[in-house]
Structure 1
């Protein structure tokens, strides 16, 4: 049976070949049937083929019939009728031979693309019955040309630079963005190669990437390319080898990104190496970053504080009320910054004064996204300021407050007395014969006498009372919270008794006297100047009076 079928197929092939050896003569002998005329009117090419199968596998097929459109399209025209597909042009019939096996096995239509005279053809292959195959082919070259034009337009309008180079690396295509990127005209670039625009040191790298691309990889990497002005530009290149072996590269200018990265690196270097402590929080004041200086200043590492509220690490000294911090953050949010002194606490519990600058960082919509806190330890500065303030308000020789501090202290005492309805006494003291000590024993002895006098005056008063040296050998005592003039007189008597004792100096023992004037607020005066004037007047009265060493002011 198999032999009979094979013989029938051979006879069918021979008869068909004989019948179609001279199609023109056959056409002259036999008029076209209505079906043939109808098929010839169809614009698509239609080809009928006989499958040749061995052991269940398709080995070839014979071209049996073709309409006018197919005769004009297939290689060899009408000469292809009756011939085996394997003996005809492979680029046309080869894809159909490959698809025919699927059609016969599955019985399903197969779609494929054929190439003929540089035109793309779309074909559909059917199995209408038994071992017959029917191919319907349409010329898709116009559509492909349209698609190619659309693709060319897209490439030309692409924002990224697109370059195509041949196997030797010479550019064959570049879009407008590529021309702008390099700074050359299109004709200039098409006369250049990849090697012309990359640094010489990168040539070996280019060859290595070419090998990777030929293996089918798509590589995205950073390169530097030389522009027409001779300067190199940082770019990101995504490269691929096309099916025809050409190089395709998408090139993007990343110079702004690289500059931003450098700025970030510089900012990070400043952040990590600055001597001032820096803390960055998010909008809810949770710490997102802290530098090494913060760790050194406060004792907390970045890991200790990250993700936690800043108030637990910077604002917990116990020296400020809650209202202070509320006002601070309100001003930061309203004005965008705040600067001032804040007491802070280290991890070991030590409290220290800090100078803080707080700034807000906003997003593109004007919303606060971060806070930046810069703080420094001003303990030394505060100590220096306190020392300067002390020197400005104290007598360097005796350590007592000086005339400047005296005026402030007396003003404060009078204001307090006015509010509370209390009394204040002022004692004005002058040493007698101080000049004689200086003249007889020298100025060092005089300085020692002043120091001993200051010490004895301190011992005669309460801790809340203020003793001052006004200059030379003049001293004052401010007595607050007294009931009457007798309280002041009692202190004056203690001073007189203390100074009546001999004074031992390095150069010898001396005895000195003193004169004290007493004035009472508000009985004798109500202002600083008047109280000082009246006490001074009383002191001069005591000097003139030989009976006692002190005198109360008398109107």
Structure 2
């Protein structure tokens, strides 16, 4: 066999390679040994009957045989039908002139199988006619196992994401959405796929309403925080408000730059509405929706404190409905409740937005005002209330006419406690009752 130095053009050698490299004793025989023992690939040459004409040592070793023992054997002799059914379609494609690349789990003695990536190319004679195929196979088992483990882990994580009650959102460093779980549809009314690649904050809408969330992400992007929590009210596609709680975190790369962020978003609408209702029940009358006695007292104490501090004026109108007991007695408490609600609506229509209108208890109502407080203006307001109540109130089965007796009290400079002003207005209301109902009386202390 000729020495390889005869086959190498000296002019093709790199300038830095000394000509003595050709004295390494390379020959076709030594190249064969390299192919047989040193190459990291499994190599074979087979004819159109799938009989082997050449295999390297690695190929033979996988069958615990020598290359010489394998020459002339058919692939059908070496592999089970299950395996030949799997790979022969690829080999036949090479017999048809195609270069084919694929992966398969190949049998190895003493092993459950090893993953290889395989190239199959046509073997042609000097005329170009296909007479077989050449195969080379590289072991990619460890990489394949790791990729498969990563795929399984990713599938499990995706399953956890999609089965979690929380909405999971992932972003790049510029807050473009890179991943979102299926729950985003119930949160926003938008399918996950169209959101991918879009910037988060414009998707959510109102810049002013989203400012707390934007600030939270800015702190992550600037490295001031690694994680944070914020509550914002979103708007569902159907227009309904969605109260949400966001748990945000940032992931940085080797240089410390934020490369991605993640948010776990909890829909807390039910909880928030319940809390709002509880807070409202603590301060509002459940029947009429007006402030209750406790809330009125708190607001009045604050007003009295302002009165003592800066001399601001305060007035109370205390009114009790006339003939309301007849409504309950003749038509039932359901009708009475409807009448109370109608009275509340009329009071809200007459008073100003800054005034506090309260159902003090039963059929008693109180109006607290700190705007344009004079005895004349308060009497005028009381007269408007009386006129508003002259019209009958409708309820489910009929109509009822109720009036009111009203006591007016202006807060003096010497007041000690809020309850004193309430008592003066209450006393004035009872004076109006005793004077024939449907009247307005001023508290003696306030008028002094």
Q: Is the 8 A contact 2:175 2:200 kept in 1?
A: yes
Q: Map 1:44-59 onto structure 2 (within 5 A).
A: none
The number of residues matched between the two structures is 402
1:258 alignment partner, one of 145, 148, 166: 148
Q: Measure, in 1, the Cα distance between the counterparts of 2:194 and 2:313.
A: 60
Q: TM-score if structure 1 supplies the norm length?
A: 0.52
- What residue in structure 2 maps to residue 202 of structure 1? 83
Q: Does 1:430 align with 2:320?
A: yes
1:330 alignment partner, one of 190, 207, 219: 219
Q: Measure, in 2, the Cα distance between the counterparts of 1:411 and 1:380.
A: 33
2:430 alignment partner, one of 517, 522, 543: 543
- What residue in structure 1 maps to residue 16 of structure 2? none
Offset at residue 467 of structure 1 (A): 1.2
Relative distance call for 1:422 and 1:189 in structure 2 (3 A) is farther
Q: Does 1:461 align with 2:351?
A: yes
SS at match of 1:221: strand
Q: Map 1:157-168 onto structure 2 (within 5 A).
A: 163=42
Relative distance call for 1:542 and 1:302 in structure 2 (3 A) is closer
SS at match of 1:518: strand
Q: Is the 8 A contact 2:212 2:230 kept in 1?
A: no
Q: Is the 8 A contact 1:427 1:477 kept in 2?
A: yes
Offset at residue 519 of structure 1 (A): 5.3
Offset at residue 371 of structure 1 (A): 3.3
Q: Measure, in 1, the Cα distance between the counterparts of 2:320 and 2:78.
A: 95
Q: Measure, in 2, the Cα distance between the counterparts of 1:139 and 1:494.
A: 117
Q: Measure, in 2, the Cα distance between the counterparts of 1:318 and 1:270.
A: 32
- What residue in structure 2 maps to residue 249 of structure 1? 137
Q: Map 1:29-48 onto structure 2 (within 5 A).
A: none
Which deviates further from its counterpart, 336-345 or 293-302?
293-302
Per-residue Cα deviation, 1:109-146 (whole angstroms, up to 9, x for no partner): x9549xxxxxxxx9xxxxxxxxxxxxxxx995999779
- Is there any run of 5+ residues in structure 1 with no aligned partner, and where? 1-91, 97-109, 114-121, 123-137, 180-185
Relative distance call for 1:145 and 1:451 in structure 2 (3 A) is closer
2:415 alignment partner, one of 524, 527, 535: 524
Per-residue Cα deviation, 1:284-337 (whole angstroms, up to 9, x for no partner): 34566788967995889978994x7655x2466253597974454115643334
Relative distance call for 1:457 and 1:405 in structure 2 (3 A) is same
- What residue in structure 2 maps to residue 67 of structure 1? none
Per-residue Cα deviation, 1:157-199 (whole angstroms, up to 9, x for no partner): x6xxx55789778998459xx99xxxxxx96999999889988
Q: Measure, in 2, the Cα distance between the counterparts of 1:198 and 1:362.
A: 50
Q: Measure, in 1, the Cα distance between the counterparts of 2:411 and 2:186.
A: 57
Offset at residue 479 of structure 1 (A): 0.7
Which deviates further from its counterpart, 327-336 or 138-147?
138-147
Relative distance call for 1:352 and 1:443 in structure 2 (3 A) is closer
Offset at residue 515 of structure 1 (A): 5.2
Q: Is the 8 A contact 1:538 1:552 kept in 2?
A: yes
Q: Does 1:475 align with 2:372?
A: no
Q: Map 1:320-469 onto structure 2 (within 5 A).
A: 320=209, 325-326=214-215, 328-331=217-220, 333-342=223-232, 355=244, 357=246, 358-363=248-253, 366-372=256-262, 393-407=283-297, 409-410=299-300, 413=303, 421-431=311-321, 434-435=324-325, 437-469=327-359
Relative distance call for 1:301 and 1:449 in structure 2 (3 A) is closer
Q: Is the 8 A contact 1:417 1:423 kept in 2?
A: yes
- What residue in structure 2 maps to residue 224 of structure 1? 105
Q: Measure, in 2, the Cα distance between the counterparts of 1:363 and 1:425.
A: 65
SS at match of 2:445: coil
SS at match of 1:249: strand
- What residue in structure 1 maps to residue 14 of structure 2? none
Q: TM-score if structure 2 supplies the norm length?
A: 0.61
1:236 alignment partner, one of 100, 116, 126: 116
Offset at residue 250 of structure 1 (A): 2.0
Relative distance call for 1:523 and 1:227 in structure 2 (3 A) is farther
Per-residue Cα deviation, 1:436-464 (whole angstroms, up to 9, x for no partner): 55335532443344334434434543332
